[in-house]
């Protein structure tokens, strides 16, 4: 399956340090594109990602899959100090919910 630059996750934000907009791509965290307008930053990062993907494919490399195309199990492990674990377990018990439900609600905030 051919990956296209349009399926990647882009974001444009203001860079106070550069006094310009910066275009970013979540799947390529080392790339960025500075421009004077929001639209130009988005266009620039999309073009840059497209060139990188084309180059990678031309060299037989596999570009990272777009986040939107990945599947997620809904499970991941988080390590916390024992005292935090105890505090969360107590809070869950006091609220009559499972620790998983409490953690999920807090992560969704």
Comparing C-alpha atoms, which of 84, 56, 83 is closest to residue 103?
A: 84
* Cβ–Cβ < 8 Å for 8, 25: yes
The confidence score (pLDDT) of residue 6 equals: 79
pLDDT band at 1 (very low <50, low <70, confident <90, very high): very low
Higher pLDDT, 79 or 3: 79
Domain spans of the chain? 5-69, 72-109
Distance separating alpha carbons of residues 87 and 93, to the nearest angstrom: 10
Per-residue model confidence as pLDDT tens digits over 62-109: 999 999 999 999 998 989 999 999 999 999 999 999 999 999 999 998
The architecture of the domain spanning 5-69 is 2-Layer Sandwich (3.30)
pLDDT (average), residues 50-67: 94
């Amino acid at each position: 399956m051919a990956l296209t630059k349009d399926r990647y996750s882009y974001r444009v934000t203001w860079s106070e340090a550069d006094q310009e907009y910066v275009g970013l791509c979540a799947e390529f965290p080392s790339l960025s594109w500075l421009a004077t307008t929001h639209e130009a930053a988005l266009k620039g990062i999309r073009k840059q990602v497209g060139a990188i993907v084309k180059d990678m494919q031309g060299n037989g490399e596999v570009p990272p899959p777009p986040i939107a195309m990945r599947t997620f199990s809904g499970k991941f492990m988080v390590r916390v100090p024992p005292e935090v674990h105890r505090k969360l377990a107590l809070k869950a018990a006091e609220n009559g919910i499972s620790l998983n439900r409490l953690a999920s609600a807090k992560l969704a905030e």
